[in-house]
Chain A
């Protein structure tokens, strides 16, 4: 297959355009996953431990939002950031920060839902002991998040995987501008429709390799941590 051969030479040949795209994709997806983790870990823990009216409803809602269609999130953020929108004065539309914000919103429910489940399970195990030690609500959140740290790696990875793989939000909010907001997924979509299959395949290959590498790194870190911390 000549196509796959030229795809491979693109990747191995160090094509600068391709590497710029890969770099931007990584920055955006990792930033979004990190932001979602920073917001989502405490939110998930709060949802697991707090008792307030509407908690069950919120829990269902968060779970449902794990399956939010990326284009819908993209559209919502687009409306917020467009010139006539409430945040239009920020001039962020069609910029990487806008893409990061949109992807953060997209993956936040995944991180919150997985964190809630993890912390709730851990709380069942820890409840008596922490209650006997008279540990207050805030310290409970911190303690449970810290003791769940290895499981939370999975929540982070789920968020990153979703962000790296989706095309809808970054396409709408970023605009797929060459050399500025073009990511791997939007480039694949574009090149495929243009008929440049070698580049599309090369990017697809790189995307898969990157996701595997990030997961392998996180998994190794988790294993090492577990072995050392018990």
Chain B
């Protein structure tokens, strides 16, 4: 059951988001098209999460507009993985089944295939809330994939995981990207950005400082802010 219309390009045009007096996103224009993963980096509080949420349609901008494939009401074929995913109080398999589109055929086979894809085939009957953080994050990935997304947003999915779990998540993300799903991922881990990025969006204080192909960004950052960020200077 594929929706006929594409979610891409996702166009963010002149978008600002303010909460009372605090400006979280400050006049950002950005277009996300198909291709290798787009990685959003920046220090804490730079607006990465909010930008991801705007792209997912979870929050509405204060001003400006967001559109999906030219439509103002899109995002039906977007999925998202949160930094701390909420596990439904049921088994791992039931969590995946919950996210399948209604009327989907071969329920069981799909659930089994998705759990296998994220390496959780043996834990299908485990209550999701009793799984480890790394397992929960992989289950969240399976749940997002159950929606058969065209675009997958990830908001610092490995921020609270150990290196082994981080690697597992990155491997899955790379497989998904190779299968043609557009990845848009926020991270503050530069190593991770290097490993995954097709192109990079650097955010600071709610503004896009630089948007370039990953190779160029890491080899020759165009702005002094980007260079400082890459050097690991403490940027506030």
- Which A residues form the contact surface with B (CB < 8 A)? 125-126, 128-129, 131-134, 143, 146-147, 149, 228-230
Complex Cα spacing A131 to B128, Å: 19
Complex Cα spacing A74 to B53, Å: 52
B230 within 8 A of A: no
**Closest Cβ of chain A: how far from B61's Cβ, in Å?**
16
Q: Is A132 a contact of B89 with CB atoms below 8 Å?
A: no
B118 within 8 A of A: no
Chain A residues, Cβ within 8 Å of B88: 143, 147
B138 within 8 A of A: no
- Which B residues form the contact surface with A (CB < 8 A)? 53, 56, 58, 75-76, 79-80, 82, 85-90, 98-99, 127-130, 143, 147
Chain B residues, Cβ within 8 Å of A133: 79, 98-99, 143, 147
Q: Is B56 a contact of A229 with CB atoms below 8 Å?
A: no
Q: Is A230 a contact of B128 with CB atoms below 8 Å?
A: yes
Q: Is B127 a contact of A132 with CB atoms below 8 Å?
A: no
- Contact of A129 with B130 at beta-carbon distance under 8 Å, contacts A134-B76, A229-B90 already known: no
Chain B residues, Cβ within 8 Å of A134: 75-76, 147
Complex Cα spacing A230 to B90, Å: 8
Chain B residues, Cβ within 8 Å of A147: 88-90
Q: Is A126 a contact of B86 with CB atoms below 8 Å?
A: yes
Chain B residues, Cβ within 8 Å of A149: 89
Residue among A125, A131, A228 with max Cβ neighbours from chain B (10 Å): A131
Chain A residues, Cβ within 8 Å of B82: 128-129, 132
Chain B residues, Cβ within 8 Å of A126: 86
Q: Is B147 a contact of A229 with CB atoms below 8 Å?
A: no
